[in-house]
Chains A and B, each alone.
Chain A
């Protein structure tokens, strides 16, 4: 079993829909959870950063962490064609970007249809 599981998709939804992206993990030491967006042939861009369990909202994006279930989610409201990208979840047990490094999921390829 991989440490972080993420459905690679592709996930295709119509413009304006609510998108739900998810990851599960097995390492209970993970405390810091991130979502990155990666456009084709570009580096990952940090979208959301959360510590421990709970919700965090930033504009159209909401990140949820449920440590008891080892499950994290990213919701995108009012999705736009410009949101089409690969979304990577990442996590670490240590602040400071993880001296032990971030552990990433494979990424979910999201397509927003105009």
Chain B
């Protein structure tokens, strides 16, 4: 059973460029969340997708956008890249919403470097 898979694993961009990161959730999971983890920090919640809609967003600007497809996979797009966007971007998936559950399973992440 494949876990959460993310691509690409590493990428380098320059300021002002745009980037798209991709995520396939764990089999049977329908909810995908994205997190940003700067070096030496804990992950920070960007947003969550369920039924192809953004359900909740953390404190991130509109330059960060996403999409969820009918097969539950997801994309994270970041426009007008800044140096401060350099981080590990983590995708996490979870089972259908059932009270008392909700453990997030994380992928290995996409490491973005902005020069």
List residues of chain A with CB under 8 Å of any chain B CB. Answer: 4, 6, 8, 32, 34, 36, 41-46, 49, 51, 88, 90, 92, 94-107
Q: How far is the CA of A95 from the CA of B99 in the complex (A)?
A: 6
- Interface contact A43-B106, CB-CB below 8 Å: yes
Interface residues contributed by chain B, number (CB under 8 Å): 33
B62 within 8 A of A: no
Number of A-B contacts (CB under 8 A): 81
- Interface contact B33-A107, CB-CB below 8 Å: no
Q: A100: shortest Cβ distance to chain B, in Å? A: 5
List residues of chain B with CB under 8 Å of any chain A CB. Answer: 4, 31, 33, 35, 40-45, 47-48, 50, 55-56, 58, 90, 92, 94, 97-109, 111
Given contacts A101-B45, A106-B40, 13 further A-B pairs with CB under 8 A are A6-B42, A41-B111, A43-B109, A88-B43, A90-B42, A95-B102, A97-B33, A97-B104, A98-B33, A98-B102, A101-B58, A102-B43, A107-B42
Q: How far is the CA of A46 from the CA of B56 in the complex (A)?
A: 22
- Interface contact B106-A44, CB-CB below 8 Å: yes
The residue of chain A having its C-beta at the shortest distance from the C-beta of B101 within the complex is: A95
Report chain B residues within 8 Å CB of A103. 45
- Interface contact A97-B42, CB-CB below 8 Å: no
- Interface contact A96-B101, CB-CB below 8 Å: yes
The residue of chain A having its C-beta at the shortest distance from the C-beta of B10 within the complex is: A41
Q: How far is the CA of A102 from the CA of B58 in the complex (A)?
A: 10
24 pairs, A vs B, C-beta closer than 8 Å: A34-B104, A42-B108, A43-B90, A43-B108, A44-B43, A44-B90, A44-B106, A45-B106, A46-B105, A49-B103, A88-B42, A90-B42, A95-B101, A96-B31, A96-B94, A98-B48, A99-B55, A99-B56, A101-B33, A102-B35, A102-B104, A103-B45, A104-B42, A106-B42
Report chain B residues within 8 Å CB of A51. 100
Report chain B residues within 8 Å CB of A8. 40
Q: A26: shortest Cβ distance to chain B, in Å? A: 15
Q: Given A101-B33, A104-B42, is A96 in contact with B106 using a C-beta cutoff of 8 Å?
A: no
- Interface contact A34-B42, CB-CB below 8 Å: no
Q: B92: shortest Cβ distance to chain A, in Å? A: 7
